[in-house]
Amino acid sequence: MHNHPSGDPTPSNDDIDMTQEVKIAAQALSIVLHDHLIVGNGRWVSLRQEGLL
């Protein structure tokens, strides 16, 4: 989970890429990455719900 100080919680390409890298690293350690949430301006986005995880 992290925030976007701009207030727009829309995932950037860097957010999506980094999430995939973390997922791959976690799998190597038998850890399940359940979601990546981005918050901003009272709103949030779930990469899992968006089909990006």
For 26-47, write each residue's pLDDT tens digit. 999 999 999 999 999 999 999 9
For 2-29, write each residue's pLDDT tens digit. 999 999 999 999 999 999 999 999 999 9
In a domain, 42, yes or no: yes
pLDDT for residue 36: 97
Range of the domain at 6: 2-46
DSSP string of 1-53?
A: -EE-TTS--PPPHHHHHHHHHHHHHHHHTT------EEEETTEEEETTTTT--
Task: Kindly state the percentage of the chain with pLDDT values over 90.
Answer: 98
What pTM did the predictor assign?
A: 0.85
In a domain, 53, yes or no: no
pLDDT for residue 7: 94
Domains identified in the chain, total number: 1
Tell me, what amino acid is at 23?
K
Other residues' Cβ atoms within 10 Å of the Cβ of residue 38: 21
Among residues 50, 21, 45, the alpha carbon closest in space to that of 33 is found at 21
pLDDT for residue 41: 93
